């Protein structure tokens, strides 16, 4: 047995198939058959064809269906009783072309321009050239279609390729139809998957440097994205042609802001995402106007607080109120792009709480600070502290410090309680500091200016003892101009005998008695052995050791009981 030949060699859907077999034999053949399985088996006799010198089946096999397998078994017997049976030989009819479009693949995309994009599939096993994908829009009559454009592709077998045409949506809502091989130039047995129809809502709008938002590149247009929701990017906002993407959000990011109540616009959440196409990312400081009609928001928020837009801060994980105006029953805000925005009823009208400290100590007006102090502002608010450049500002001697000099401690984990630290470099002399802290609702705490001093060197300012005379305890108060290395308070009798030494490590009421600024050290009228001292006068010595010098202050105290 020398092999088998099918004619045609690669049968397609419409082809009948003839079977040829080559056999060498010494004796005449008495029997030659082929068993054809399709999948049912049928036995066909073979006769010798003198022209081809091969044995051919006495009848052809009818055309097979797409992808159908053909299995052949050959059996030969000569006049001497010798037999030959061949192993199975299998063939498959090619699937041919199988062009398809999928419903969810038809999308509207936009970067510098807006395009309709789809994916054309050839799931068959033959290459198809010059395949047309046609795009159409349903006319207002709901019956006829307007041609938008054709895209021509060469589709290799078992592959997909993107297809697209430029498109400018003229309506807020529209219906599109895409058809692959609309003129039926490609033979297929199943063409039901060659066409898709999909309804769209416009979410992408052209933006140009000279016009801003526009619909046909002929004039500046205010976009009515949805009923009562309008968006505008002004001319000159972008440096090159791009697109504005607007998306309604079904779910809005939740947060623990008890005085922020998310409102609805009709039956949907009043929340939107704004972004620019990639070409617009080069333009800095792009802002968009948003207008929202109040008619369907008022009833939901009556009496609950101010109605305003807020922006989701991805760093703070909080909603931050944006400056919102109300004009003729319509909210208006000028907002940065990109960003996520929502309409809230905000009932918070209480400013955040804030206080200032230096080197971990509460700051006292007129006190000393080092030349390079660590100044910290502690702020807290139930709805969150706005630590953006607009939310926190610090001035020293009426000069606003750059935001880049601020550092925030644990702000990501506990944004309701924030510590912002600065480390300015100060000259010796008198200074003052003031600051502003804003919460997520826009309420601001404006601190009055606080004066302070930077000493020329290391100084100890002893402020006195109180009470004096005392009964059970007395307090020594002092200020340090800079960090000290050590501190002691020594108590003596009038005869000069040392009865008590209080070191910096013994001070429990002050976590940092060696730091700059105001401090207090308390003596409980006990000696080194814990016994109460007798009534009378005592001397004290306050000793502070700095890096380069030691400073002492001496005074008298009296115990009376």
The 10s digit of each residue's pLDDT in 414-465 is: 578 889 999 999 998 999 999 999 999 999 999 999 999 888 888 898 999 9
Residue 279's φ and ψ, nearest 5 degrees, are -65, -30
* pLDDT value, residue 451: 93
pLDDT of 251-263, one tens digit each?
667 678 899 988 8
* pLDDT value, residue 315: 81
d(CA 149, CA 116): 10
Q: How confident is the model at residue 111 (pLDDT cuts 50, 70, 90)?
A: confident
Displacement of CA 397 from its chain's centroid (Å): 39
* pLDDT value, residue 1: 78
CATH match for 353-454 among 2.60.40.1220, 3.30.9.10, 2.60.40.420, 2.60.120.380: 2.60.40.1220
Percent of the chain clearing pLDDT 70 (strictly above): 95
d(CA 62, CA 480): 107
More confident residue, 459 or 66: 459
CATH match for 205-346 among 2.60.220, 1.10.20, 2.40.50, 2.60.40: 2.60.220
Q: How confident is the model at residue 413 (pLDDT cuts 50, 70, 90)?
A: very low
What distance separates the 2 farthest-apart alpha carbons in the chain?
Answer: 147
Q: How confident is the model at residue 13 (pLDDT cuts 50, 70, 90)?
A: low
The CATH class of 460-559 is mainly beta
* pLDDT value, residue 508: 86
More confident residue, 250 or 396: 396
- Which of 30-39, 382-391, 413-422, 452-461 bottoms out in mean pLDDT, i.e. has the lowest? 413-422
pLDDT, averaged across the chain: 89
More confident residue, 9 or 399: 399
DSSP β-bridge partners for residue 7:
18
- For the stretch 246-251, contacts whose Cβ atoms lie closer than 8 Å and that sit 24 or more positions apart, written own/partner, are 246/203, 246/204, 246/205, 246/272, 246/273, 246/274, 247/203, 247/272, 247/273, 248/272, 249/273, 249/340, 249/342
| Alpha-carbon Rg for the chain in angstroms | 44
What is the DSSP-derived secondary structure letter of residue 507?
A: -
Residue 194: pLDDT above 90?
yes
Q: How confident is the model at residue 14 (pLDDT cuts 50, 70, 90)?
A: low
* pLDDT value, residue 110: 86
What is the DSSP-derived secondary structure letter of residue 121?
A: E
* pLDDT value, residue 2: 79
**Tell me: domain 3-92, CATH 3.40.50.720, correct?**
no
The CATH class of 99-202 is mainly beta
Q: Do domains 3-92 and 205-346 have the same CATH topology?
A: no
pLDDT of 462-497, one tens digit each?
999 999 999 999 999 998 888 899 999 999 999 999
Q: Where are the domains of the chain?
A: 3-92, 99-202, 205-346, 353-454, 460-559
* pLDDT value, residue 266: 73
Average pLDDT over residues 95-110: 87
pLDDT of 348-360, one tens digit each?
999 999 999 887 7
Q: How confident is the model at residue 280 (pLDDT cuts 50, 70, 90)?
A: low
* pLDDT value, residue 10: 66
* pLDDT value, residue 11: 67
**Count of positions (residues) in the chain:** 561
d(CA 408, CA 387): 8
Q: How confident is the model at residue 412 (pLDDT cuts 50, 70, 90)?
A: very low
């Amino acid at each position: 047995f020398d092999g088998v030949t099918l004619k045609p060699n690669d049968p397609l859907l419409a082809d009948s198939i003839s079977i040829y077999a080559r056999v060498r034999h010494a004796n005449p053949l008495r029997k030659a058959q082929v068993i054809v399985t399709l999948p049912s088996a049928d036995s066909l006799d073979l006769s010798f064809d003198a022209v081809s010198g091969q044995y051919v089946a006495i009848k052809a096999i009818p055309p097979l269906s797409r992808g159908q397998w053909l299995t052949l078994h050959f059996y030969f017997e000569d006049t001497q009783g010798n037999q030959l049976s061949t192993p199975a030989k299998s063939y498959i009819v090619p699937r041919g072309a199988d062009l398809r479009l999928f419903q969810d693949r038809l999308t509207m995309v936009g970067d510098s321009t807006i395009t309709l994009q789809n994916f054309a599939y050839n799931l068959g096993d033959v290459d198809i050239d010059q395949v047309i994908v046609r795009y159409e829009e349903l006319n207002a009559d709901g019956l006829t279609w307007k041609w938008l454009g054709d895209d021509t592709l060469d589709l290799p077998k078992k592959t997909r390729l993107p297809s697209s045409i430029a498109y400018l949506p003229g309506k807020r809502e529209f219906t599109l139809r895409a058809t692959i091989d609309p003129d039926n130039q490609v033979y297929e047995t199943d063409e039901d998957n060659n066409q898709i129809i999909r309804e769209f809502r416009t979410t992408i709008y052209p933006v140009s440097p000279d016009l801003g938002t526009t619909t046909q590149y002929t004039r500046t247009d205010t976009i009515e994205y949805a009923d009562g929701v309008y968006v505008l990017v002004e001319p000159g906002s972008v440096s090159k042609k791009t697109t504005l993407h607007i998306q309604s959000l079904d779910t809005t990011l939740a947060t623990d802001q008890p005085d922020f109540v998310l409102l609805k616009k009709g039956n949907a959440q009043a929340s939107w995402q704004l972004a620019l196409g990639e070409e617009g990312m080069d333009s800095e400081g792009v802002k968009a106007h948003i207008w929202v009609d109040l008619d369907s928001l008022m009833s939901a928020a009556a009496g609950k607080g101010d109605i305003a837009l807020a922006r989701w801060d991805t760093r703070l994980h909080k909603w931050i109120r944006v400056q919102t105006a109300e004009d003729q029953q319509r909210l208006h805000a000028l907002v940065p792009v990109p960003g996520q925005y929502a309409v809230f009823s905000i009932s918070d009208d209480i400013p955040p709480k804030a206080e200032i400290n230096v080197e971990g100590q509460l700051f006292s007006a007129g006190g000393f600070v080092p030349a390079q102090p660590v100044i910290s502002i502690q702020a807290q608010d139930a709805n969150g502290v706005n630590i953006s450049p607009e939310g926190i500002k610090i001035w020293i001697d009426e000069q606003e410090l750059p935001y880049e000099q601020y550092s925030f401690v644990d702000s990501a984990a506990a944004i309701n309680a924030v510590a912002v630290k600065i480390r300015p470099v100060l000259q010796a002399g008198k200074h003052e500091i003031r600051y502003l802290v804003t919460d997520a609702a826009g309420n601001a705490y404006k601190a009055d200016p606080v004066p302070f001093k930077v000493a020329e060197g290391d100084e100890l300012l002893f402020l006195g003892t109180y009470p004096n005379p005392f009964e059970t305890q007395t307090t020594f108060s002092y200020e340090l101009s800079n960090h000290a290395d050590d501190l002691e308070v020594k108590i003596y009798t009038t005869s000069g005998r040392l009865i008590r030494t209080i070191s910096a490590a013994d001070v429990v009421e002050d976590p940092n008695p060696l730091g700059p600024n105001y401090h207090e050290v308390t003596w409980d009228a006990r000696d080194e052995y814990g016994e109460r001292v007798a009534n009378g006068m005592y001397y004290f010595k306050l000793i502070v050791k700095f890096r380069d010098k030691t400073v002492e202050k001496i005074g008298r105290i009296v115990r009376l009981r």
